[in-house]
Structure 1
């Protein structure tokens, strides 16, 4: 069994040093296990990559990788499945993947709900991950829940709707535009701040405006939603962001309905089906659904 666990990590990392670090054993000890695995399976499993950079899997190793991991995962689920889950006595770490919009919209309420109960054995981590890593990390149990838009959820996850939201436009208090309803001309006249994970100055709203024959000038692009309100507070820029997020910053900004019709959206929670019957996982999902704002 120990050799199979080591093989699983070796095939994932394709690097003896990193695999040994994950397994918390010495590199010579893991190299000895690799030699034994090569003998048993009659295959080198890992061979030097072209140009001498790292290692690559042999065809036999590549064939074994996914079935072996799935088998070990099912065995782990069977062994670790609790007969009951009591949050007042349980010791468990939960990890939720979400951006800072979802953290402000839903995450704060979830943290408040759980911490008010003083569940001292439970810890909660929130982090951002790229969409193309979601399915793998949830399948491996490194991420418990994912919160995002419907478009963010990859096929293969269970999902549940959390909240409906829509976009509004925000400006600083005392903005020279005043506080009357925003017109399309004003919307396009001022500079804009955009949230983008890759530094883009373009979004779906720009495509929508182009269809109307209009254009907005985006001069600032930031990776995090929470960076926008302080920027608005110090400039005359506008920003188009989710209403529920902007509501958290009403003490800093004024917000208005968009001067054009733009589709609302939903935030969902997603999880891997292998955790459907995990009692602790069920409890966390229940807490999230109960904590969502209305």
Structure 2
């Protein structure tokens, strides 16, 4: 019994130790393999990092080698001489720039607009021509009538001559009459004059003749201008009305301004200049009044 028990115990004990030894041996072997694999992985990561570093250095070097240098960039940049040679010259710029005539042609108002500079200039000239024609021709006619009346008088008929002079002044157009009255207010003979009543002043007669010639010249110019405007107009009836309106406006305004200046005591030069300006402004205003009337009539009919 004793020996048997002891044999069992020994067998049991040996079996236990053997089992422990087997378990321990298996565990150590697996751990060693895991550590070896971990080391291999770490080694692989290190190799990958080294390869990436080498590749990065290689790529950077290649890029730097292929990049243009500062000298290359400067050599390819256009120089000041190149820029100046390609820039248009002053002559070329002037040759391509629009001329004042081209600009005016592009901005010119349409025909019969009556609002552009040309239309206003024509209207002003129309008014001035009509005023000058009426004043000059009218003054000459009044003087000729006076000379004809005086030539039939008795040399001592001073009162008859004074009456004839009053009649002649009344027949003289307003602007010219105002100038005459500013120069010679009275109607009787000059103090100390011994001239015969049936003889007139030669200088005044010559001046009246010159005024008549000037008036006829302006009359021809005004008629020619009006005829040309009417001939080239789309609506000839309306343009004829504008021409007539400008002429009447110039006569009315010029006469009125001259008379007003004379009443204020202005000198003959100022009166004449005022009448001229009045004729121009009156011509423009007269044509604009006709335009307004035409527009009003078209809105109703």
Which TM-score applies when normalising by structure 1?
0.19
Structure with the larger strand share: 1
Which TM-score applies when normalising by structure 2?
0.19
Radius of gyration: which is bigger?
2
Structure with the larger helix share: 2
